[in-house]
Amino acid sequence: MPNLATWIRPKDAKSFRAIFSKHPEVKVWNARNRQVRLDQMGGLLLTGGSDISPEFLRQDVPDPSVLDKDIDPERDRWEFQAVQEALSRGLPILAICKGLQVFNVALGGTLKLDIRGHNLPEQKHRDVQPLRSARRASHRFEKVNSAHHQAIDQLGDDLEVEAWAAHDGIIEQMRLRKYPFGLAVQYHPERSRLYDSLFDDFLARLQTGKR
């Protein structure tokens, strides 16, 4: 049975539960409430959450007031360690929203710490953000449910953009070059069945562990 390492907030649990119910062959290990042996995991799912703690960023924070008040250094420490473990073993990685930002920073990138026009209430649960996609994009969607106040500035090493917000070019999807499966999206595929193929692709690639 493949083991999946992740950190999922209580507010997101219902959305992910619906996805995992379609894949009973996968055992999910949520590091928020249990100890996770990273060396025995077959894949890594990085999910949405509060802003990355300043101590983990690769840039100065001129105005700390733009950051979320509920940053979680414990979670950040676990996720950055998990990314390095997964990369060292070539494990499949899917990163969502904050997860995309963690993935980018872990690979040496930086963030735009506060942007406007990408965190509107109607964007959170409706597919209203038009995208333009690269010709070689692994998954293509015309519109997505993207709501966030931070975004990628400088890309991390070996990351390639697959999709941008159509109106201002904010990065919405990227992948890690020359890697079995390393996909990161700024939108929230767990909130709509429109994106089931993305999860099917990711979960089918999990490595089988011996736990």
Provide the annotated active-site residues: 97, 188, 190
C-alpha span between 120 and 95 (Å, rounded): 21
Strand partners, 173: 163, 185
Cα distance between residue 146 and residue 191, in whole Å: 10
Indicate the length of the chain as a whole number. Answer: 211
What's the CA gap between 73 and 56, in Å, rounded? 8
The Cα–Cα gap between 51 and 71 comes to 6
> Burial letters for 97-120: b for 16+ Cβ neighbours within 10 Å, e otherwise?
bbbbbbbbbbbebbbebebeebee
* DSSP annotation string for 72-113: -HHHHHHHHHHHHHHHHHT--EEEETHHHHHHHHHTT--EES
